[in-house]
Structure 1
Amino acid sequence: MREPAADASSRSLPAKRRATTKKPAKRVPDDKLDLRRTQSKMNQRRYRAEQLELMGRLQGEVASLTKDVARLEGRVGPLQASVPKNLRSFDPEISVANEYFRLFAQGYNKHSLDPKNVYQRDFLCSVMQPDLEFMGALGLEKLFTQWGLYTTLFQSVMMTCDKSCVVMCEPNIMLEGNARMQLRISRGTIEALFPHLLHNERLVQKLIGRVMVLSVLCQFTFDEHLKVQKFSTFANPVVALMDLLKSAEDTATAVSGCLLKENGELVPVTRQSLIPYGVTV
């Protein structure tokens, strides 16, 4: 069936002309616009009120949870003490040893105002007893002094721990860490720790600028409060010098007057010899 002529002609009109035939949008009355604005404001106020209420409730829950955590943390100590040592985890002790090796991986920062120095000292004071047993002395000062000597007398210090593990549970927990210290030797090192070699320029030149790798066994003995009561170190300077010099004769000469002891303690030749390096012992 054929369409009416009028309909066909209207379809042939250009798109723009057809668009102009659309009816204009109805104008929203002012009273309806005011109503919508009022409703929008009320919705926003209600939303803000709900958010404030939610925030207050969450803050109250956080405060309550904080108290619960503090109460539970207070129970951890007695619970750990009640568990036989051979059954409980040794994560706290292992964490102390790992942090020690991490903090002193590049030696001891001697500048008292440096944040790293503050952190190193605060860490040792927090995990070790004030009357720490170390290298035949009581107190932390001997440990700080030895670290100061290592950092000063060697051109550079690098320390890594190959592995650590608990080796004893009774009467106290003992953890051992196998450390490797990479110590770069300078002329100042030889003057303070190998003074007997100063007349042997051949051997001096063989040592200066070289890195001595010193293996050190570190033993951390913890008390019932999980603090280090005793810290023992065992070093082998003979093997370190032999690996460095590659000569039994030169090693024997170097070891004969070496002031690096088998417990890793540095005993410089004299106090006067340390003045040029800014160290007091």
Structure 2
Amino acid sequence: MRNAIKLTTSIIAAAGLSLGLAACGSDSSSSDSATGTDKPLVVVASPTPHARILDYIKDHLAAKAGLKLQIKQVTDYVTPNTAVQDGSADANFFQHQPYLDDFNKQRGTDLVSVETVHLEPLGVYSKKVKQLTDLPDGATVAVPNDATNEARALKLLADNGLITLKDGAGTAATVHDVTGNPKHLKWKELEAAQLPRSLDDVGAAVINGNYALDAGLKPTSDALAVEKAIGNPYANVLVVKQGHQSDPRVQKLAELLHSDEVRSYIEDTFKGSVIPAF
């Protein structure tokens, strides 16, 4: 039932986004100058930090590079990929490679990453306790319900001694792979965007960096535990449909995302809550 509900919601969201982009396309088609590489590059992004980084590029770097950039913000983890797959957007910026690989496998899409950009450390947050060891027996912990981020969340809990996972569970781990649970923790699997709102109702929640920032949470100061950056495979990537990697507009954006100016913007703005991966 959960999957059916998520799919229906995603289809509605994707349809709404497609209609919005189609309307923009109608405006562009009325102008002969908006053709080929002169057309705006439409990028779907999560609000924070992805769209904020893109807004910085649009406001400070894009014009000089000859890039017209149109940014569409969404808050779910499905619409950006379906929009790029169906052509209603040119690129997206919201996900890491393991999530993209799983999405392609599950949905039969052919999306590819162009460049890695940054890491958003996953963190454990709580309004009930000051440290993880204070979680009471039987406490409920909320985790993301998408495949790769659930595994990532469980690994973070395991790395901090709360649970142990079955050998070989890897990036596909779920709560069913928890083999050691000395505190008898209970699990609440939620869509990633809902996790900050769950903090009043659970003992702790493992929250993706972008949603933590949206909720005013700072991983560096508010999290009880944070992912290590070294050797982390979950850096966020710029994504397009297979065959569009060489689009000059995409290449310009990739270059700007890896510029010294963007590195400084990320470091100065997010103070370690978002880390450049280039």
TM-score higher than 0.5 here? no
Normalising to structure 2: TM-score of the pair? 0.25
TM-score normalised according to structure 1 size: 0.25
Considering fraction of residues, name the structure with more helix.
1
Work out which structure has the larger RCO, using CA pairs closer than 8 Å and 6 or more positions apart in sequence.
2
Q: Quick check: which has more Rg, 1 or 2?
A: 1
